[in-house]
């Protein structure tokens, strides 16, 4: 060691107490230099028996979904959406969102059901008829008109509508089969009911509104127009078991809801608190129904809906005695819009016979009405102004839609026309487009449903007897210029028929 201190550099560092730091720096520099030179060489195990130890990946720990709903906010709502989205399905030809509220039953907006009805109507008016009922229809119309004329002119000597013939026995009509599983449409509430596959789509558990305190967290689950499910978090503001007077909703939430189709409002457990039904206008938003109201509405929509164009009530014995009749029912209301042509029956008439049989009770009248066939002449006998009168009327359909003349089918041009009476002052009578074939000549030219036809090749068609003109046009199959009115604008279209009629 004494020899080292004779070295000038070492002696100087020792005198200045820098020898130890210098040695440390020297050793560290050597180690770093050695590592730089051998960094690309593989490191061999000290023993061939040594194997690398596999390290398990870190475990992703998630909070309890029910106990900590405010932890990991986004992840929680995503899991809630995944739990509920299977009960939000797409229904109808336009793929509108619907909520499965009971096994095999889903509710959506009225627009979803109306799209199905429009599709059914288009198929009906564009399907070739099996037989030509025009002659029978004209005869029925003339008989109905004759019945009204006899009633007004001859009074007691009105022509009897064959009362001696025994009425035929009829089976109750079966409900119409509608595609897409449509069961019913409730225009008053703005919703529709569909049948869905219960084995594929589970129904949500309905929770009573009283079991959800105000201020609770809720989520609104629906699907956008691409079919992708989405959830909107929010709070429950108020929930009532019944809808309030004046049409106020039975459910109120804090978030803005979609105005398209149906939206499921669920609590943190995924149970259904209510359903939001879009009203066809995004500016109007959606109307909310609590789970209790939803259950009652679905039950009502499953019942057979039979519209009765006549409302009758029983008369007391003293009234019957003063009138000089043994039995009869007072006609309280006649739905004029359900008949075509307008019925000769009036509110205030006393109905003595209906369909060839005497009527003594309201139940007997309703049973007889349900057995009659819509579209056929129905004989009646009434007491009006101290006179007994006979007549006939064409019974409307079970949904109170009038049975009118069938539409004119112009299958070569891909459209159907129907004579329509104006429903308002700004709606004129005339021939209107009832349906168009997708991709047909009329649709390609720009013709739309409900367009009013003014003229064909310059010839006016403002009267009902223009039916013959349309039929000749269909038989000739020549190109034609059609003048239409759409709202307040007049347009002209050139229709080039197809070679083969479109079915």
The 10s digit of each residue's pLDDT in 107-158 is 999 999 988 888 887 887 777 655 444 444 444 444 344 343 334 333 333 3
pLDDT digits (tens, 9 = 90+) for 330-347: 999 887 767 766 677 888
Summary mean pLDDT of the chain? 77
Average pLDDT over residues 3-27: 75
Least-confidence region, from 175-184, 465-474, 484-493: 175-184
Q: What is the pLDDT of residue 82?
A: 93
Say which residues have a Cβ less than 8 Å from residue 231's Cβ, sequence separation at least 6: 77, 78, 80, 81, 84, 219, 220, 221
204 vs 272: CA distance, rounded Å: 6
Q: What is the pLDDT of residue 32?
A: 77
Q: What is the pLDDT of residue 308?
A: 75
Say which residues have a Cβ less than 8 Å from residue 263's Cβ, sequence separation at least 6: 88, 97, 99, 220, 221, 222, 257, 275, 276, 278, 286
Say which residues have a Cβ less than 8 Å from residue 149's Cβ, sequence separation at least 6: none
CATH 3.40.50.12280 fits 408-495, yes or no: no
- Whether a cis peptide bond, with omega within 30° of 0, leads into 88 is no
Q: What is the pLDDT of residue 350?
A: 93
Q: Which residue has the higher pLDDT, 258 or 178?
A: 258
Whether the per-residue pLDDT at 251 is higher than 80: the answer is: no
> Which DSSP string do the residues of 395-406 spell out, in sequence order?
PPPTTS----PP
Sign of the alpha-carbon torsion through 184, 185, 190, 195? positive
Whether the per-residue pLDDT at 274 is higher than 80: the answer is: yes
Whether the per-residue pLDDT at 92 is higher than 60: the answer is: yes
Query: What interhelical angle do 8-15 and 19-37 show, nearest 10?
Result: 120
Q: Which sequence spans correspond to the domains of the chain?
A: 2-33, 74-116+180-301, 128-173+306-394, 408-495
Note the pTM of the prediction, 2 decimals: 0.57
Shared fold status for 128-173+306-394 and 408-495: yes
CATH superfamily of domain region 128-173+306-394: PDZ domain (2.30.42.10)
Say which residues have a Cβ less than 8 Å from residue 20's Cβ, sequence separation at least 6: none
Which band of pLDDT confidence, cut at 50, 70 and 90, is reported for residue 218?
very high
CATH 2.40.10.120 fits 74-116+180-301, yes or no: yes
91 vs 107: CA distance, rounded Å: 9
Q: What is the pLDDT of residue 247?
A: 43
């Amino acid at each position: 060691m004494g020899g080292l201190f004779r070295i000038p550099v070492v002696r100087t560092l020792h005198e200045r107490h820098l020898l130890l730091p210098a040695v440390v720096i020297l050793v560290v520099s050597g180690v770093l230099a050695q590592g730089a030179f051998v960094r690309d060489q593989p490191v061999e195990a000290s023993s061939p028996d040594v194997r690398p130890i596999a390290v398990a990946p870190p475990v992703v720990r998630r909070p309890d979904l029910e106990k900590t709903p405010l932890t990991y906010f986004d992840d929680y709502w995503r899991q809630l959406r995944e739990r509920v989205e299977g009960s939000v399905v797409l229904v109808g030809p336009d793929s509108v969102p619907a909520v499965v509220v009971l096994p095999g039953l889903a509710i959506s907006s009225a627009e979803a059901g109306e799209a199905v009805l429009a599709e059914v109507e288009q198929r009906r008016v564009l399907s070739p008829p099996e037989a030509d009922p025009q002659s029978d229809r004209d005869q029925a119309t003339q008989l109905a008109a004759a019945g009204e004329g006899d009633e007004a002119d001859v009074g007691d000597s009105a022509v009897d509508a064959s009362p001696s013939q025994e009425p035929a026995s009829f089976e109750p009509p079966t409900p119409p089969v509608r595609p897409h599983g449509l069961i019913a449409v409730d225009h008053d509430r703005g919703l529709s009911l569909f049948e869905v596959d219960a084995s594929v789509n589970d129904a949500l558990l309905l929770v009573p509104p009283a079991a959800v305190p105000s201020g609770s967290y809720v989520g609104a689950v629906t699907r956008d127009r691409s079919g992708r499910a989405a959830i909107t978090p929010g709070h429950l503001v108020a929930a009532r078991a019944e809808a309030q007077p004046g049409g106020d909703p039975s459910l109120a939430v804090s978030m803005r809801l979609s105005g398209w189709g149906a939206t499921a409002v669920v609590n943190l457990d995924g149970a259904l608190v209510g359903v939001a039904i879009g009203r066809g206008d995004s500016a109007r938003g959606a109307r909310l129904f609590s789970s209790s109201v939803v259950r009652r509405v679905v039950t009502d929509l499953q019942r057979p809906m039979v519209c009765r164009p006549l409302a009758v009530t029983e008369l007391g014995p003293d009234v019957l005695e003063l009138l000089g009749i043994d039995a009869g029912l007072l006609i309280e209301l006649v739905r004029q819009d359900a008949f075509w042509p307008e019925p000769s029956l009036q509110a205030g008439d006393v109905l003595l016979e209906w369909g060839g049989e005497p009527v003594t009770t309201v139940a007997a009248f309703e049973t007889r009405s349900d057995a009659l066939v819509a579209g056929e002449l129905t004989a009646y006998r009434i007491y009006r102004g101290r006179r007994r009168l006979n007549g006939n009327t064409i019974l409307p359909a079970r949904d109170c839609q009038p049975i009118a003349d069938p539409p004119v089918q112009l299958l070569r041009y891909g459209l159907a026309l129907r004579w329509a009476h104006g429903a308002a002052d700004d709606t004129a009578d005339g021939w209107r487009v009832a349906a168009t074939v997708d991709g047909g000549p009329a649709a390609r030219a720009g013709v739309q449903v409900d367009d009013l036809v003014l003229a064909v090749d310059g010839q006016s068609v403002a009267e009902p007897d223009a039916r013959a003109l349309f039929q000749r046009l269909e038989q000739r199959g020549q190109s034609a210029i059609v003048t239409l009115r759409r709202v307040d604008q007049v347009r002209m279209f050139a229709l080039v028929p197809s070679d083969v009629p479109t079915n």
